[in-house]
Structure 1
């Protein structure tokens, strides 16, 4: 029976003495330790449309995610085999719940289920090494870019946390487009004790001006949160910073706090499109909003921001989005709209896809609706609460009907 232990230990001992460009070659050298002849690392591009092989290992072509077995491993998070075409198996590369790409293992025992656990273990450790080593060089960033990235987008991507985060009882996952030219849409989250804080912001303008405002907005949000301010005080602090530094600009935003122990959701909608409450694979209502003026012009309001509260049921999901999603227009002028947004998410949830895959398919649908030419940043975020003692919690897996991971 194959055992990944020796390969994993050797990689963890060898990687610190090597540059990030050498990781693929190191992984190839570890192949015999699990009875493999070749191991190849593929990274997902920024648009999550292609899998790009890392140099330094066996030569491979760039692969589409939509129509290949490696792509299926990425989208479903399940192992995929091609025993009749080279005896190989593909496994998703996951850092926690963040999908980085896939790992290909070529082995004469690829059809043996006993190889499954060693391949998963090896993939998990290689993904962690990639995550740890990527900041020491630019290889990973260069490979993920299939088009030139604009400076405004460079700034925004540098601000963001991982697109997906999950625990046993909650998941938050987001998507941004156009990934190479995004400028004004940003999000952030943090779990402190039982409270998950989430912010989704859409700053006015385009290009560098929008990304500069987005940087200040995220910085002010994090600072207020880390200073222990409550939700209303956090909105007021962001508002004051924007008004002080950019007096003629503003940002819309959703500021959310979820108590994962009780399911109590608290939210401020600062001039933002409404959030949709999903229950049992369908949208049941749009949550009230706005409850405050956009950030930066809040001083025009007679009262401070109002906090809306909702008691979530186990398994409930909150879908938030920017107007670039619903306002996307096709060639004949029809907008994507809220109904199409909800239908797209409902279909993905009914297919029991991994939650991050739901968001990837949503943004692919928005792009297709507008012939891949978005007129505005289009971002969406899905927050799901699934307490461990929920009747559905036993289903397991980072899938649409259970985010536990």
Structure 2
């Protein structure tokens, strides 16, 4: 049954609901297979879901097993699917026979991958809408079903992951998130052998809470310390403890477990989205930056010692952000990235890229900066490079 116009919308929506119910009862790895029958009822064939890898460079298919005999991969750069993933705009290409639709798969604007489907002829607006709705449904199901299976995690891996990195990725929230009030984007590199860097964020009652942690060293013990810090941070945050006392609790937790032999630098912040008030504390971490248009400035804050080493209480610092302003937190693995001749990537280059990329989407800017630091080292990283960007929504502009 085709979907030629709005008069059949209720029938098409019923088919979409049937697809959702089938997916709910199917094993996670049969997610796309479960919706294929509903697709066939509206003359949509061969659904294939592509998920992006941890590096953001490759899209890997997890389509129906009956049609996927080998793993199909497409590059993010230089393919129609990749362009759809990057721009979040659908595209259509000629297929034999028919037309292939490529649709972005994202949840809360967190880019997960791309859905490809085929129609026997050029689709009408209602069929395009139905396919777009299907892509949104699949995004929600991927996000929830990945808690029950490893198949999606395996699809996102292009190489074996180190144990420390496995621990780190289990701690990370989604790399990007967006709603009307705020946009958040983060990245940790190297994806498969990360040591002690991790970030976290949460949006609660109009306030964005964010943290960036850089644990001493680069081996498994660094990931263990980072896990302790993030777990303690979340416990404090969910208990409503303020930033200064949260840092003191982090310090005590690391000292109690490691007796002063391990430490982590930490930057914690809160952004009130309604009035733009940004508060932060600094425990030995690089100072955050604010990007306003093409201007980049540092947010000063006297540091206390890294958590785990004791010392004086942290000082709470404050600034006001305008709608559209971006707060950028980063680890020293970005600015201290060193080329073969010994020169550092440096703060000047960081500021330059943030300024030049002021009009880029948040996730693209983060990838550009971290990618620049890696390129500066000829692709050979000596330290984790981590960045977290929080942008206050333009909806608050008067």
Q: Which residue of 2 aligns with 1:285?
A: 297
Distance 2:277 2:335 in 1: 27
1:169 alignment partner, one of 164, 174, 181: 181
1:317 maps to 2:330: no
Name whichever of 13-22 and 52-61 sits farther off. 52-61
Q: Count matched residues.
A: 385
1:89 maps to 2:101: yes
1:377 maps to 2:384: yes
Alignment of 1:42-61 (within 5 A): 42-56=50-64, 58-59=67-68, 61=72
Task: Please tell me whether the aligned partners of residues 100 and 116 of structure 2 are also in contact (alpha carbons under 8 angstroms).
Answer: yes
How many Å apart are 1:91 and its aligned residue? 1.3
Alignment of 1:300-379 (within 5 A): 300-301=311-312, 304-350=313-359, 353-379=360-386
Alignment of 1:24-173 (within 5 A): 24-56=32-64, 58-59=67-68, 61-83=72-94, 87-110=99-122, 112-173=124-185
Task: Please tell me whether the aligned partners of residues 81 and 111 of structure 1 are also in contact (alpha carbons under 8 angstroms).
Answer: no
Unpaired stretches in structure 2, ≥5 consecutive residues: none
Task: Please tell me whether the aligned partners of residues 50 and 113 of structure 2 are also in contact (alpha carbons under 8 angstroms).
Answer: yes
1:248 maps to 2:248: no
Q: Which residue of 1 aligns with 2:285?
A: 272
1:198 maps to 2:249: no
Unpaired stretches in structure 1, ≥5 consecutive residues: 392-405
Q: Which runs of 4 or more aligned residues in structure 1 lie more than 3 Å from their structure 2 counterparts after TM superposition? A: 1-4, 57-60, 83-86, 108-116, 345-349
Name whichever of 226-235 and 102-111 sits farther off. 102-111
How many Å apart are 1:112 and its aligned residue? 4.4
Q: Equivalent residue of 2:395, what SS?
A: coil
Distance 1:108 1:342 in 2: 50
Alpha-carbon displacement from aligned partner over 1:11-63 (angstroms, at most 9, x marks no partner): 22112322111112223333223322221100001111100011425447311
Task: Please tell me whether the aligned partners of residues 252 and 294 of structure 1 are also in contact (alpha carbons under 8 angstroms).
Answer: yes
**RMSD of aligned Cα (Å):** 2.0
Q: Equivalent residue of 1:388, what SS?
A: helix
How many Å apart are 1:274 and its aligned residue? 1.5
The TM-score normalised by the length of structure 1 is 0.89
Distance 1:267 1:369 in 2: 30
Task: Please tell me whether the aligned partners of residues 200 and 255 of structure 1 are also in contact (alpha carbons under 8 angstroms).
Answer: yes
Alpha-carbon displacement from aligned partner over 1:279-319 (angstroms, at most 9, x marks no partner): 02x2331111343221112x333xx2111100111111111
1:181 maps to 2:193: yes
The TM-score normalised by the length of structure 2 is 0.91
Name whichever of 13-22 and 62-71 sits farther off. 13-22
Alpha-carbon displacement from aligned partner over 1:173-228 (angstroms, at most 9, x marks no partner): 11111111112111111222122111111010112100000010001111111222
